[in-house]
Chains A and B, each alone.
Chain A
Amino acid sequence: MIELGKYAGAVLGAYGLSLAVLGGLIWQTLAANLRARRDLERQENRG
């Protein structure tokens, strides 16, 4: 384990918050893309 010293909270907090926000963005992007693809396929197969 890496020794973070007295600033462990700050470092881990910054990484945690940033990666959470970034992960949320990536998740939202992929989910929206999947939904759009599924809706489009359904529409094309029907018509």
Chain B
Amino acid sequence: MSIWEYANPVKFMRTSGAILPWIGAGAAVCTVTGLAWGFLTPDDYRQGSTVKIVFLHVPAAMMAINIWVMMLAASLIWLIRRHHVSALAAKAAAPIGAVMTLIGLITGAVWGQPMWGTWWEWDPRLTSFLILLLFYIGYIALWSAVEDPDSAADLTAVLCLVGSVFALLSRYAVLFWNQGLHQGASLSVQSGERMSAVYRYPLYLTMLGFGLLFLALMLVRTRTEIRRRRLAALQARELRA
């Protein structure tokens, strides 16, 4: 048994089909319970009820970054070992990442309006998320623009590598450019000002839920891509016959 067995589309389809219902159910349970639990938490003494937005904001922001990292890993696997499933998984993940980034930005804006008194602030964290969204959009646009599937996979993989470097570079460049308004990490281990347990546990649950949700969506989308690829291959064979 090795993970490379799943580079075989048939094997991938069989295994992913078998585990998908479980992951989907887990995602639904964790997300719904976590959000409901988060909704029932008491108000923060400074933020009032807006503290409830954190249960969407933090998991979405976390996933936005993690999905890009996952796409980077999948692109590298595609470039090095030429496994088609890997390239398709990267393609499948990109729209989910873009949506997560968008949710992070939307919830941040809605929270910032009453708390900071502004929808938008050119703060390093906010700005780098906007830049991340731009990179997601460029990546998705390139996938849809290139017709030959293998060329598209190659080009987007190279773009993902270069984009990762520049996304990281931009992250530190904007830090240099403007000092922030955004608070530090919500869940850092050594931070002095930790979130209280009342908020922490539902947050963990929604983070788990968003992770599972991404996994389920990514698997479904990859399966869609594999089916489309197979359909195209069948049609091409029919045309030739």
Contacts and interface: CB of A to CB of B under 8 A. Distances in A.
Given A10-B50, A33-B224, A40 B56 contact: no
A7 B106 contact: no
Contact of A40 (B60, B103, B230): B230
B106 A14 contact: yes
How big is the B interface, by class? 35 or more
Interface string A1-42: 011111110110111011001100110011011001101100
A29 B227 contact: no
A39 to B, nearest CB: 5
A26 to B, nearest CB: 7
Most chain A CB within a 10 A radius of its CB, from B95, B102, B106, B227:
B227
B228 to A, nearest CB: 5
Contacts of A21: 99, 102-103, 106
A21 B234 CA distance: 34
A8 B49 contact: yes
A5 B107 CA distance: 18
B5 interface: no
- By Cβ-Cβ distance, the 7 closest A-B pairs, closest first, are A36-B227, A14-B110, A33-B224, A4-B49, A14-B53, A14-B107, A18-B103
Interface of B: 35, 39-40, 43, 48-50, 52-53, 56-57, 60, 95-96, 99, 102-103, 106-107, 110-111, 113-114, 213, 217, 220-221, 223-224, 227-228, 230-231, 234-235, 238
11 contacts: A3-B49, A5-B49, A10-B53, A14-B56, A15-B52, A17-B106, A21-B102, A22-B103, A25-B96, A36-B228, A39-B231
